[in-house]
Structure 1
Amino acid sequence: MKKRLIASAVCLLLISTPVRPAETAAVLPILEIVKAVTKKVIKAIDLRIQRLQNKTIWLQNAQKKVENVLSKLKLDEISDWTQKQKELYKGYYEELAKVKSIITYYQRIKDVTKKQTRLVHEYERAWNLFKKDAHFKESEIQYMERVYSGILEESLKNIDQIFLILDSFSTQMSDLKRLEIINRAADQINANYDDLMLFNRQNIMLSLQRAKTEADANQVKEFYGIPQ
């Protein structure tokens, strides 16, 4: 459905008058929001990962000390080992496994957020070029702006899901539910990214179709970094 909508958007551009004076359009207001929120998420994840890694080191050292004590005990002494010490060792082991699991979740969330960052970079690169392309009318640039705004707004909703996951570590959310949210956010951001790239490619092809001469077409290819 989304691909049909984007294809329809480009079709609307095709029936428009092909030439417009070169001028600079405003930066999409939502862009700065998306960039700020994405940066905030990455910073929060990095901070949490650092804290957990420090905790992992502490737990590993504590666990090693207990293991060293165990290795020095004789069999009859091990059997007399206090219940408190056994629970302490078990607690270190379980906490370490839990911390490592959370770090894995955070790394997965960070990967998803990096895709969001790529989406923003690809948007900015293409948008800055399309605004300068004289093959498009101003009304067409405004239409592109609306399409891009829609894609960015959808991606912002996915970042909200990531914040929900980050908050989930202080609640009783199950690992299964947490993983479900992460996967859903990843799938949606991938879809947003694919929509953006498809729209960019179709607009570039439209500019090429409007080139009146071979020299003009070569200039378009050079402008968008297309191998000739």
Structure 2
Amino acid sequence: MKKVVFCFLLMVVIGSVHAQSHEAQQLLLNWEKLSQFKKILQNMYDGYKILHKGYTTIKDISEGNFSLHKTFLDRLLEVSPIVKKYKRVSDIIRYQIMIVNEYKKAFKQFKDEGSFSPDEIEYMGKVYANLLQKSSESLDELLMVITAGELRMSDDERLGAIDRIYSSIEEQAAFLKEFNSDTGLLALQRRAERAETDLSKRLYSLPK
């Protein structure tokens, strides 16, 4: 009987040890996951701070609060003078500002003038949103290239990346210009058609 009781107690102890061991392992795994997650969040936060600083600068530039050289080049660029003085860096930023300003102005005009249906306005919104997403991605990439410590690149590699970003955002600006021009022409045609229709109605409604 004592032997049975001893065996039972031994099993309970062993089971308890295994349970505690499992809990300890699970706790360790959870701690490791938490540590990894905290690291991911920190990396995301660091990236956000860099991008937020860049976007804030873009907003300041677009509103004329600061000079381009002082706010963007001096504060963000800590790479070599060759990259720092590369003209296309400022050209890319100017394109980004132009895209945002031109899109806002044109989209407001198209929505207010009454020449387009709700479905057409919704389509325009999607086109503009897609364009803004692409231009923002170009700016993100530029910030990564010109911010010291973000990417391990030689000066030639950085300049090549800047050239590629410049070509991309230049195409985006050209697309925006063409899209706004075509849409504006369509609006003009529709206004002319409405005016002609209104004139015909007035003429036919005159007493004979």
Deviation, 1:133, is: 1.6
1:46 counterpart letter in structure 2: K
Deviation, 1:47, is: 4.3
- Scaled by the length of structure 1, the TM-score of the pair is 0.51
Cα distance in 1 for residues equivalent to 2:105 and 2:135: 17
- Matched position secondary structure for 2:153: coil
Unaligned runs of 5+ in 2: 1-50, 199-208
Does residue 40 of the first structure (1) align with residue 60 of the second (2)?
no
Higher relative contact order (CA 8 A, sep 6+): 1
1:108 counterpart letter in structure 2: R
Give the structure with the higher percent helix: 2
RMSD: 3.5
Q: Which residue of 1 aligns with 2:181?
A: 201
Q: Which residue of 2 aligns with 1:5?
A: none
Choose which of 129, 137, 140 in structure 2 pairs with 1:149: 129
Is this contact kept in 1: 2:54–2:143, CA < 8 A?
Answer: no
Does residue 104 of the first structure (1) align with residue 104 of the second (2)?
no
Change (3 A) 1:144 1:101: same
Aligned residues: 139
Deviation, 1:160, is: 1.3
Choose which of 178, 184, 195 in structure 1 pairs with 2:164: 184
Change (3 A) 1:99 1:165: closer
Unaligned runs of 5+ in 1: 1-33, 53-97, 217-228
Larger Rg: 2
Deviation readout 1:33-83 (Å, 9 max, x if unpaired): x9985443568963464479xxxxxxxxxxxxxxxxxxxxxxxxxxxxxxx
Is this contact kept in 1: 2:116–2:187, CA < 8 A?
Answer: yes
Is this contact kept in 1: 2:106–2:180, CA < 8 A?
Answer: yes
% identical aligned pairs: 30
Give the alignment of 1:10-159 within 5 angstroms.
Answer: 38-40=55-57, 46-47=70-71, 49-50=73-74, 100-105=81-86, 107-159=87-139
- Scaled by the length of structure 2, the TM-score of the pair is 0.56
Is this contact kept in 2: 1:168–1:178, CA < 8 A?
Answer: no
Change (3 A) 1:35 1:201: farther
1:155 counterpart letter in structure 2: S
2:70 counterpart letter in structure 1: D
Is this contact kept in 1: 2:88–2:166, CA < 8 A?
Answer: no
Deviation readout 1:72-98 (Å, 9 max, x if unpaired): xxxxxxxxxxxxxxxxxxxxxxxxxx9
- Matched position secondary structure for 1:131: helix
Is this contact kept in 2: 1:38–1:117, CA < 8 A?
Answer: no
Choose which of 124, 138, 155 in structure 2 pairs with 1:175: 155
Q: Which residue of 2 aligns with 1:161?
A: 141
1:101 counterpart letter in structure 2: I
